[in-house]
Structure formats: structure tokens, C-alpha cells
């Protein structure tokens, strides 16, 4: 199983939530986090990891035919024995490695298709033409993580149609303080799978050597546990108190729902999706 995580604007905590999701996966499977961010990876700096083994060494090995099991030789372990394939800090090196590793025949995809394996791909910001787009196209699920300020949501709205065409199973996850979840659902016309609360304590532990386990009660970890439970069960994307994808969001007019599952917000303004939210911010 391949789960891709990405954003379209800013840095809403994609890497932090990727690690939290993998660390709190509910079933007994082989988990691995792979940094597929074309801008460069963060895990090496956050956790004091060596440059190799990692994405660069895997890409070098993949220039020759190798078994999919060879991926595990290019991982390093975080504090809770979570294997990760750290990316280089530099963008040019990361993009060069991804050009070798994102094709469907690469050891990344072959490993993700093995029974009992769940791969979490941190794809960073999904810019047009990103080399990580091929990972997202092959993913079983895409978690699109967005902040909830008006400028961040406007970028999400403008790219909803594109993202729906790229990803097989896209789900929107909101992060941090800003506009209320219900208002976002109403304005974008799509349900929200989860809301990651502002939780600096848990976030700090995910940017150092200690990874929170299941006993931690922080809001960020609780959100990761719930999202992991939904994905592991193969359930449709849902918000805890909201509708499943394919149902109408209360207050939003009926819309065309394409086969790929993402609703297209019907209101356009100068050719772009319009997001009109009250100029205020609240806690999630």
C-alpha cells in the first residue's frame, strides 16, 4: 500500500504528519517512510541521520536491476524502530534521485505493492511538474494537507480539479488554527477527512529524536491515529462528524462528482475557484 502526503501551499506540517501517521499505524505491517520531497528532505537534520543509506544510495543502486527487497537496505531507524529512507537536504540532489525512483517499475513502487507493506511517501509541496507527481499517481491514497487561512485555501480551491485527476483517492486534511472546518467544507464543496490541531508539544517531539507512541494523548497524535485507522480499514474519506465523499455537504448546492471522487467547487471568479470566507480566525 502506498500513501502519499503533500501540500499545495506553504509548509503545513507534511513531514511531521507523515511520521506521526506511520508511527501510529494500527496494524502489524512493515512500515517505511520515504522522503520524496523534490525540495529536499528534513528527516536527516531533524533526527541527526547520516546522509547514507537513504534516497541517494537507493537511487544509485536502482540504476541497475535490483530486487524490491533491496529498499530495506537503504533505510535508517527512528526512535521507535520506524524505518525511513531520508532524502538529501538539497533540492537538485533530491530531484535527480526521484527521477530514477518514481517510475512505476522502480523498487519504491514494487516494495509498496508487496503484501503486508505500507509505504508513506512525503511528497512535499505539489508544484506543477513536480517529479513526485508520479508517486502521487501511483498512490492508493493521497492526503492533501492544507492550512486554513484564506490564501492557503484559495490555492487548494484553484487546483481541486487537477488534484482529482492526478490522485486515485484524494482526501483533504486541515492543519492548525484558522477558519472552522465546517466553513471550509461549505466553501470548497468537499468534506474534510481530519483536522490536525495546533499541538506544539507533539510537533516538537516529531522534530527531534523521540516519536510519540500510542500512549501519548496529544491532539496531533490523536488525529494521526484516526486517519491511520480509516486508511487501514479501507474506509471512505470522512470527517469525524461529516459526510463521506460523494455525499452533499450541508449548505453546499449539489455538484458534479467525477469518478475520481473530488468535487469541483461550482463558483468561479475570473476563471478561478472562489473562496470567500469570513475574515476571522478561530481555534480548530
pLDDT band at 177 (very low <50, low <70, confident <90, very high): confident
Looking at residue 121, what is its pLDDT? 96
Q: Tell me what the mean pLDDT of segment 252-262 comes to.
A: 34
Residue 268 scores a pLDDT above 50: no
For all residues of the chain together, what is the average pLDDT?
79
Phi, psi torsion values for 229, nearest 5 degrees: -60, -45
* 53 upstream amide cis, omega within 30 of 0: yes
Q: What are 119-172's pLDDT values in tens digits?
A: 999 999 988 888 888 888 889 999 999 998 888 888 888 887 777 777 777 889
Domains of the chain are: 2-273 (3.40.50.300)
Give Cα separations from 273 to 128, 226, 239, 255, 261 (angstroms): 17, 30, 23, 14, 18
Q: What are 211-256's pLDDT values in tens digits?
A: 544 445 678 888 999 999 999 987 444 333 333 333 333 333 333 3
pLDDT band at 5 (very low <50, low <70, confident <90, very high): very high
Amino acid at each position: 500500500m502506498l500513501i502519499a502526503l503533500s501540500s499545495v501551499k506553504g509548509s503545513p506540517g507534511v513531514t511531521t504528519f507523515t511520521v506521526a501517521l506511520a508511527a501510529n499505524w494500527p496494524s502489524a505491517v512493515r512500515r517505511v517512510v520515504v522522503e520524496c520531497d523534490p525540495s529536499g528532505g528534513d528527516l536527516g537534520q531533524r533526527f541527526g541521520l547520516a546522509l547514507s543509506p537513504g534516497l541517494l544510495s537507493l537511487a544509485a543502486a536502482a540504476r541497475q536491476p535490483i530486487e524490491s527487497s533491496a529498499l530495506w537496505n537503504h533505510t535508517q531507524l527512528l526512535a521507535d524502530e520506524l524505518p525511513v529512507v531520508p532524502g538529501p537536504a538539497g533540492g537538485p540532489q533530491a530531484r535527480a534521485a526521484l527521477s530514477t525512483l518514481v517510475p512505476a517499475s522502480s523498487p519504491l513502487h514494487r516494495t509498496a505493492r508487496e503484501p503486508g507493506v505500507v509505504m508513506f511517501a512525503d511528497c512535499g509541496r505539489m508544484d506543477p511538474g513536480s517529479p513526485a507527481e508520479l508517486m502521487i499517481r501511483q498512490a492508493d491514497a493521497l492526503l492533501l494537507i492544507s492550512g486554513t487561512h484564506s490564501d492557503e485555501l484559495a490555492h487548494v480551491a484553484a487546483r481541486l480539479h487537477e488534484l482529482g485527476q492526478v490522485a486515485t483517492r484524494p482526501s483533504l486534511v486541515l492543519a492548525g488554527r484558522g477558519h472552522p472546518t465546517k466553513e471550509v467544507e461549505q466553501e470548497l464543496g468537499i468534506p474534510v477527512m481530519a483536522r490536525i490541531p495546533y499541538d506544539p508539544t507533539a510537533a516538537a517531539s516529531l522534530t527531534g529524536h523521540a516519536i510519540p507512541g500510542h500512549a501519548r494523548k496529544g491532539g496531533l497524535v490523536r488525529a494521526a491515529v484516526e486517519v491511520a485507522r480509516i486508511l487501514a480499514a479501507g474506509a471512505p474519506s470522512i470527517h469525524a462528524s461529516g459526510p463521506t465523499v460523494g455525499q452533499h455537504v450541508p449548505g453546499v448546492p449539489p455538484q458534479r462528482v467525477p469518478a475520481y471522487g473530488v468535487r469541483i467547487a461550482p463558483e468561479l471568479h475570473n476563471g478561478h475557484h472562489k473562496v470567500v470566507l469570513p475574515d476571522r480566525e478561530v481555534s480548530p
